Structure formats: C-alpha cells, structure tokens
Amino acid sequence: MAMTPRERWLALLNGETPDRIPTDYWATPEVTARLKRDLRCADAGALYDKLHIDGVETINAHPTAKFPHDGAADMWGVRFRRIEHETGAYDEAATHPLADAETVDDIEAYPWPNPDQRDWEDFEQQVKNLSGRRAVRCGGYEPFLLYCYLRGMEQAMMDLVLSPELAEAALGKIFDYHYRVNERMFELAEGKVDITYVAEDLGSQHGLLMGLEQIRRFILPNQKRMADLARDHGIHIFYHTDGAARDVIPELIEVTGIEILNPIQWRCAGMEREGLVRDFGDKVIFHGAVDNQQTLAFGSADDVRNEVLDNIRIFAAVRWICAPCHNIQPVSPTENIVTMYETLHENGTL
C-alpha cells in the first residue's frame, strides 16, 4: 500500500525507508498561480496531487499586533515597498527603524511586539482542521534577517564587530518573542506538529556571509535553544540556509542539532552534492538540490530530467527530499517544473 505524504516524511525522519523519495514544493505566488492555471487545478491541494508533491501543511498563529507609532509599518516597525519586475513582484524593507540606535538602552526602549498579540483562537481552529495526510510545519525563527530589516543590512553586519553588545541586545529581544510564540503554538498543537523551521541565510555564492566566530556568538546559541524547545515537544528541526554554507554545516549539526538541511545550492562553492553526501549523509536529510538558478529557469526539459536523475543517483545511499533549491521563479517554464516532479515520480521508487 502506498504511503501518505506525511508517512514518507516521517519515515525519513525516523531513519526508515519510504516507498519512494518524498518531494516538496517551494515557489513564488506567481508560479503557483500559473501552474494552477496551466494544469487546470482548482487549488494548491489539487496541484500537489497532480504532481505527486508531498508538501507540508503549515499552521501559524497570525499576529494581531500593530506598531504603535506607524500605522503603515508591520508589528516590528518596518515599512515595506512593493518592487515590480517583468514577471512578478516582491516586498523590500523600505525603512529601518533601529538604524539610529546607539546603545543598549535604545534597544530596551524600543516598542517590541507582545507575543500574546496573536490570533490564538484561529490557530486552534487550524489545528482542528489538519488533514492528517501531510506533515505539519509550525513555528519559525530567522533572527538575523529581521535584525537586518530593523538596522539595515550594512549596519547590522558592522554591528557584529563594532557594536556587539547592541546586536546581542536586539537579537535577544527577537529570540524572546519567537520563543514565547513558538512555545505556545507547540503546546496548543501538542502531538500534531512534525517539523519546525529554523533558518538563517549564512552563505553567499562563494562563502559565508559572516565569520564563524560571529556565527558561534550571535547565531548558534539561540538557534540551539529554539531547536531544543521543539525537540522537547517531539518536533523535528528543518534548517534553511542559502548559498555556500559548507564551513558551518558541522556546527549546525552538532550544536543546533538540525535534521533536515535545505536547500542544497550545489553550484555554490563547497556545496557539491557528492562531498555533502560523503561528509554528512549519515547525519542529515538533504532537502532541495534541483537547481533553480540555471537548470529549472534556463535549461531544457531534458536538462531538468538529467539533473533529477543525477540527484537520484548521488543521494541513493542517504536520505533526500526532492525539491527546488529555493523558490521557483516565474522565469522557470511550466514544462520544466512538471518534468522535475514527473521524473522523480517515474524513477524515485525505493
């Protein structure tokens, strides 16, 4: 009997062999809308079924907080502007409300959001409505990205060296907020959640964005605490970091305790699939590895098929979830996306 999508994910997480290689789906809203139209699918669930995607269900307690001094800002005080491009749009931080902070007192005086200001009634309803058919993802934590929004990316990076006490104070506030929110969600959804999302984009195309010394001081300790919270509730750790993150993977495994590593951008320096399998194949599940910077976007359907087949061969002896190596962009043709999932479905039986 065929496994359900959730059973496939849980088999990998429990060190067992599923009936076939699981799949996942990451894409921009424009891509999803186009795929539903092109493939005549009424909704995302129908799209997943048509392409044999084992994607997860996500539940979240949505914020109800408003920033007290700026009605156009999000709850953290950051305003965003919509950037239009030829095939879609994305949101970019337009203000950095902590850009002028100079002392820890400035950080303490900032109107940080209240974790209690979430729609907990709606969250409980989301838990009741879970299908049980797909793995459930709940909770998130990506602190330095938010710190960059608050300070501006250039200033945030400089803080790690020039104003470490200020960075630690703000990152501490961000951690405390997310810890309390995640803790309450995990308690309300006890026994229903399979994975939580812990992340930080630590890699560029060629190497780490910050030194290991800074990662060890500012990133790893609180990530471990957040991961420990999830583990206390029987929840597995899904970790996202873009780019050439090879040098920090051992500590993500040993310190944070990650179980799934995403997105495997194998064209980046040090992220060659064979080397990752050799060094970490017995320690983590690999998630992603179908290149969307070149292959999905600009390759032919045959290129996509060959890459999926390469991945099946390379990851044959370890645990792998087939997915794009980040959000599929609108430049990727529908044919290429369909080919990725059809090739896996035809050749991914274990």
In the chain, where the domains are located: 5-63+119-140+183-347
Q: What angle do CA 185, 190, 192 make, to 5 degrees?
A: 100
Do strands 88-93 and 80-85 pair parallel, antiparallel, or not at all (unpaired)? antiparallel
3 state DSSP class of 115: coil
Check residue 279 and give its pLDDT. 98
Give the closest residue to 98 by CA, choosing from 166, 47, 165.
166
CA distance linking residue 34 with residue 55, whole number of Å: 18
The mean pLDDT of the chain is 97
pLDDT bin (cut points 50, 70, 90) of residue 85 is confident
Whether the pLDDT of residue 86 is over 90: the answer is no
Check residue 146 and give its pLDDT. 98
Tell me the CATH class for 5-63+119-140+183-347: alpha beta
Whether residue 330 is preceded by a cis peptide bond, meaning omega within 30 degrees of 0, is: no
Among all chains, which residue has been given the structure tokens 């959640």?
193
Higher pLDDT, 84 or 295: 295
CA distance linking residue 320 with residue 312, whole number of Å: 9
Per-residue pLDDT, averaged over 307-323, amounts to 98
What percentage of the chain exceeds 90 in pLDDT? 96
For 288, counting Cβ atoms within 10 Å of its Cβ (0-12 exposed, 13-18 middle, 19+ buried), the class is buried
Per-residue pLDDT, averaged over 157-170, amounts to 98
Q: How far apart are the first and last CA of the chain?
A: 14
Per-residue pLDDT, averaged over 12-36, amounts to 97
Check residue 87 and give its pLDDT. 83
Check residue 1 and give its pLDDT. 79
Please state, in angstroms and as integers, the Cα–Cα distance from residue 58 to each residue in 135, 138, 166, 174, 197, following that order. Answer: 9, 6, 33, 22, 10
Whether the pLDDT of residue 88 is over 90: the answer is no
pLDDT bin (cut points 50, 70, 90) of residue 59 is very high
| Torsion sign over Cα 321, 325, 330, 336 | negative
- The encoded tokens of residue 251 equal 């500590």
